[in-house]
């Protein structure tokens, strides 16, 4: 059964008098435990699609179901809860909070789910340990390398043990070595913990970690290939 279902997703932006069609009717079903890579030229709608899957944005037309729950009728608080509990985001630019330590950043999503302080710090420490940054937990983001920051943000994405991890060009700002480490980490999360990973990338080497590669162009899926 599919974890994420998209039906006829259309997204339009009004820019003055012109209408930008970011997505033009996307149908997609993603199964639990899959790693899906989304590729395509710049401006083809990859980020827009990710935001819609991640409940950060609503489609103009079409339906989104997360774990068989339609999201269109949900209210702001409920969407926030879904983002917090079921989805973990990893961004190209890391987007760590500068005033918080690595551990503080990993613990941040748990604050909004009302998890107790002791439990938060413990889990954050464990997650950092798991991605090999146990000794850097009291460092602030500006004291970490790009690769390390991205691993911290993966740990943050894992904080509330979500089913889905959305990564928008997670290796875009990293050298190939660090990029490979990040992808191995995501692969392991999928293999060992059954996480569903959706990763946007321009890089075929990155896409090689995926079970399925979807190619977007002008807001439409033009190609879909499965590998084994």
Partner 1 sequence: MIKDFFFLALKTVRQRRLRSWLTVIGVVIGITAVVALLSLGIGLERTIIAQVEGIFGVDTIMIMRGVEERDPRRDTRRGPVPGLIDIEPDLVRQVEEVVAIAPIRSETGLIRRVAENGVPVSGFFPVIGLYSEMVTEFRAFIGEFPIAAGRMLIVGDERKAILGYAVAQRLAVTPGKTIEIEGQSFQVVGIIETYPEEMKAAMGAAAGLEPILTDETIFIPFAMMEEIFGDAGAPLFLAKAGEREDVVIVAERINTALAEAGVDGILLVTFEEISQGIGTMVNIVSSFVAGLAGIALLVGGVGLMNTMYTSVLERTREIGVMKAVGAQNRHILSIFLIESSLMGFIGGIVGIILGLLLSVGASLAMRHFWEFELLLGISAPLIIGALLFSLLVGAIAGMLPARRASKLRPVEAFRYE
Ligand X SMILES: Nc1ncnc2c1ncn2[C@@H]1O[C@H](COP(=O)(O)OP(=O)(O)OP(=O)(O)O)[C@@H](O)[C@H]1O
Answer positive or negative: Cα dihedral of 63, 3, 123, 209: negative
Q: Which of 107/186 has CB closer to partner 1?
A: 107
Residue carrying the six token digits 């950060």: 56
Burial label for 222, CB within 10 Å (0-12, 13-18, 19+), is: exposed
Residue 117's binding partner among Mg ion, ligand X, partner 1, none (Cβ under 5 to 8 angstroms by kind) is: partner 1
Residue carrying the six token digits 């340990």: 129
State the first-to-last Cα distance of the chain, in angstroms, to the nearest integer. 19
Output helix, strand, coil percentages for the chain, rounded to the nearest 5.
Answer: 35, 30, 35
Separation CA 155–CA 105 (nearest Å): 9
* Residue 98 binds to partner 1 (criterion: CB under 8 A): yes
The residues binding ligand X (CB under 6 A) are 13, 15, 20, 22, 40, 42-48
Separation CA 139–CA 149 (nearest Å): 10
* Residue 113 binds to partner 1 (criterion: CB under 8 A): yes
Report which of 6, 113, 18, 118 is spatially closest to residue 51, judged by C-alpha positions.
6
Residue 103's binding partner among ligand X, partner 1, Mg ion, none (Cβ under 5 to 8 angstroms by kind) is: none
Q: Which of 33/84 has CB closer to partner 1?
A: 84
Q: Which of 153/201 has CB closer to ligand X?
A: 201
Residue carrying the six token digits 């740990």: 155
Which of 19, 29, 61, 97: binder of partner 1 (CB under 8 A)? Answer: 97
Tell the smallest beta-carbon distance from residue 178 to partner 1 (Å).
21
Tell the smallest beta-carbon distance from residue 95 to Mg ion (Å).
14
Residue 125's binding partner among partner 1, Mg ion, ligand X, none (Cβ under 5 to 8 angstroms by kind) is: none
Q: Are 101 and 138 in contact (CB under 8 A)?
A: yes
Comparing every residue's Cβ against Mg ion, the nearest one is: 47
Near Mg ion in 29-88, by CB under 5 A:
47
* Residue 56 binds to partner 1 (criterion: CB under 8 A): yes
Answer positive or negative: Cα dihedral of 58, 59, 64, 70: positive
* Residue 208 binds to partner 1 (criterion: CB under 8 A): no
Residues that bind Mg ion (CB under 5 A): 47
Residues that bind partner 1 (CB under 8 A): 51, 54, 56-57, 76-77, 80-81, 83-85, 88-89, 91, 95-100, 104, 108-109, 111-114, 117, 156, 159-160
């Amino acid at each position: 059964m599919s974890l994420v279902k998209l039906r006829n997703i259309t997204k339009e932006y009004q820019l003055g008098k012109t209408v930008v069609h970011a997505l033009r009717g996307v149908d997609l079903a993603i199964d639990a435990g899959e790693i899906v890579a989304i590729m395509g030229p710049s401006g083809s709608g990859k980020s827009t699609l990710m935001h819609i899957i991640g409940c950060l944005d609503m489609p103009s037309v079409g339906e989104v179901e997360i774990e068989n729950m339609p999201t269109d009728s949900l209210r702001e608080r409920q969407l926030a809860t879904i983002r917090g509990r079921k989805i973990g985001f990893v961004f190209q630019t890391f987007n760590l909070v500068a005033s918080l330590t690595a551990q503080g950043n990993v613990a941040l999503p748990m604050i909004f789910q009302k998890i107790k302080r002791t439990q938060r710090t413990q889990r954050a420490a464990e997650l950092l340990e798991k991605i090999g940054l146990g000794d850097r937990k009291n460092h602030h983001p500006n004291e970490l390398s790009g690769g390390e920051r991205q691993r911290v943000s993966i740990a943050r994405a894992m904080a509330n043990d979500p089913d889905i991890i959305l990564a928008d060009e997670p290796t875009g700002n990293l050298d190939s070595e660090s990029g490979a480490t990040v992808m191995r980490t995501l692969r392991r999360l999928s293999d060992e913990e059954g996480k569903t990973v959706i990763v946007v990338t321009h890089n075929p080497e990155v896409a090689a970690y995926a079970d399925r590669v979807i190619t977007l162009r002008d807001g439409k899926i033009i190609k879909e290939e499965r590998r084994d």
